[in-house]
């Protein structure tokens, strides 16, 4: 489709000459001899570009461009100006005209000016379209996040209630009729109860996974050694009575959400503790170093380790490389770690050897806008 141009010149002969030549160049031209006629045309039909004379009796080219852009904000403009009025042409640029051309000019001078103005118009529109799409996507994401939160809430609410009913009816049954139930029946009841408890944990874990993706990120400078200290203190209760050699090296600070990063450390260190059960002593080391814009931290243990063949499964939701009989767990801890680290613009990897231990390394930016 030929690009529609509107040409305004109070000298009818000049206007017609422009129309004819630009038509030959492949444009769909419409010519008028006054600003008011130009505005009337624009109200009836869309033009990509307005090529206007500067000096016209009822309204000059600059005022016309302003009025034209009120009708169609996207229209490109070129003002044709005489030699003595270059500074007025500059004003025209400021008014939003894309370009100007000094009269008299030859056609082979005008055509590139027109293509340039049309290209600028195309880029301006593309930019607007991209901005619009970003806004749209952001709104969609906000809605999706709200939906997810609502879903998480209803899951916790709706699934917990019947689960509690199962558990308490089990307890009631045992209390009222337990004596009459033979040992085999007692075992079955115990299985029902353990199953219900496990489902409760799964729901809780799924909820915290959902939250790790939707919680807002508040970036702060994080004193990593302090944060590790807090997590170690909290985990101390779990490892009470065990022989654990823990060494925490001096760690670089980073820029992260402290609450979310604490969750990362908690999950990695509780894994290190869990998968070293049976080691005497269990050895766990936390290290870290600066690498360009990132701090790279590591948690190493001398525990059960794992087969690198399945390394890609580590971070999947509910994916486990050890059986419940060996080590209890849901398989959500590392998926939360990965989600949080990636939301900060970093990455996480695991390295292990069966029977020899494992190392988990993750990176976090140290400066604003460094990554992600
Ligand atoms: N330090 C480790 N040493 C050996 N294997 C590990 C280690 N950390 C994780 N794994 C393996 O990766 C799997 C996934 O870990 P993840 O933390 O996601 O789940 P989990 O520990 O099984 O359960 P939970 O959701 O309760 O944390 C584990 O089941 C285990 O097989
Ligand atoms: Mg875990």
Nearest CA to ligand 1 atom 11: 321
- Assigned CATH for 4-105: 3.40.50.2300
* C-beta separation of 74 from 104 below 8 A: no
* C-beta separation of 15 from 31 below 8 A: yes
Can you state the angle between helices 183-214 and 107-177, rounded to 10 degrees? 160
Domain ranges of the chain: 4-105, 133-214, 220-365
pLDDT in tens, 248-270: 999 999 999 999 999 999 999 99
* C-beta separation of 348 from 359 below 8 A: no
Does 4-105 match 220-365 in CATH topology?
no
**Is 334 a residue whose pLDDT tops 90?**
yes
Q: Give the C-alpha distances (Å, rounded to integers) separating 255 from 19, 71, 120, 186.
A: 61, 48, 40, 53
264, exposed or middle or buried, with CB in 10 Å at 0-12, 13-18, 19+? buried
Nearest CA to ligand 1 atom 1: 272
Ligand number, closest to the Cα atom of 326:
1
Largest CA-CA distance found in the chain, in angstroms, rounded: 112
pLDDT in tens, 288-318: 999 989 999 999 999 999 999 999 899 998 8
Look at phi and psi of residue 361 and say left if phi exceeds 0, alpha if psi is from -120 to 50, else beta.
beta
> Average pLDDT, stretch 111-119?
94
Gap from CA of 307 to ligand 1 centroid (Å): 12
Gap from CA of 319 to ligand 2 centroid (Å): 10
Helix, strand, or coil here: 4?
A: strand
What global pTM score does this model have? 0.64
The finding on whether 358 has its CB within 6 A of some atom of ligand 1 is: yes
Quote the percentage of the chain above a pLDDT of 70. Answer: 98
CATH topology classification for 133-214: Helix Hairpins (1.10.287)
The pLDDT score that the predictor gives to residue 370 is 55
* C-beta separation of 49 from 121 below 8 A: yes
1 or 31, greater pLDDT: 31
Gap from CA of 333 to ligand 2 centroid (Å): 4
Angle at 212 (CA atoms; ends 195, 290), nearest 5 degrees? 125
pLDDT in tens, 64-91: 999 999 999 999 999 998 877 778 777 7
Of the chain, the end-to-end C-alpha distance in Å amounts to 42
- Assigned CATH for 220-365: 3.30.565.10
Ligand 1 atom nearest to CA at 334: 18
Q: In the chain, count H helices and then E strands.
A: 9, 12
Q: Tell me which of 7-11, 83-87, 124-128, 342-346 is least confident.
A: 83-87
Ligand number, closest to the Cα atom of 270:
2
């Amino acid at each position: 489709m030929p690009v529609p141009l509107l040409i305004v010149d109070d000298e009818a002969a000049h206007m017609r000459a422009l129309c004819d030549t630009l038509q030959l160049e492949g444009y769909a031209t419409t010519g008028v001899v006054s600003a008011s006629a130009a505005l009337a045309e624009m109200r009836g039909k869309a033009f990509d570009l307005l090529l206007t004379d500067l000096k016209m009796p009822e309204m000059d080219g600059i005022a016309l461009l302003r009025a034209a852009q009120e009708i169609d904000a996207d229209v490109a403009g070129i003002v044709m100006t005489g030699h003595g009025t270059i500074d007025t042409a500059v004003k025209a640029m400021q008014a939003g005209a894309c370009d100007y051309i000094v009269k008299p000019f030859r056609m082979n001078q005008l055509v590139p000016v027109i293509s340039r103005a049309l290209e600028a118009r195309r880029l301006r529109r593309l930019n607007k379209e991209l901005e619009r799409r970003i806004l749209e996507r952001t709104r969609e994401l906000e809605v999706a996040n709200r939906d997810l939160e609502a879903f998480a809430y209803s899951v916790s609410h709706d699934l917990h209630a019947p689960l509690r009913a199962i558990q308490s009816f089990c307890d009631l049954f045992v209390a009222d009729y337990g004596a009459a139930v033979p040992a085999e029946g007692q075992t079955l009841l115990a299985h029902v109860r353990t199953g219900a408890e496990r489902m409760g944990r799964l729901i809780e874990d799924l909820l915290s996974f959902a939250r790790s993706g939707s919680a807002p990120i508040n970036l702060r400078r994080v004193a990593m050694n302090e944060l590790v200290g807090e997590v170690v203190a909290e985990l101390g209760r779990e490892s009470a009575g065990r022989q654990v050699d823990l060494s925490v090296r001096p760690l670089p600070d980073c820029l992260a959400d402290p609450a979310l990063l604490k969750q990362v450390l908690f999950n990695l260190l509780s894994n290190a503790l869990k998968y070293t059960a049976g080691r005497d002593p269990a050895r766990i080391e936390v290290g870290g170093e600066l690498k360009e814009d990132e701090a790279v931290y590591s948690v190493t243990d001398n525990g059960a380790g794992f087969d690198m063949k399945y390394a890609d499964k580590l971070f999947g939701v509910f994916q486990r490389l050890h059986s419940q009989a060996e080590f209890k767990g849901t398989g959500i801890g590392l998926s939360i770690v990965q989600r949080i680290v990636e939301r900060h613009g970093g990455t996480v990897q695991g390295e292990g050897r069966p029977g020899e231990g494992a190392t988990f390394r993750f990176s976090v930016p140290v400066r604003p806008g460094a990554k992600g």
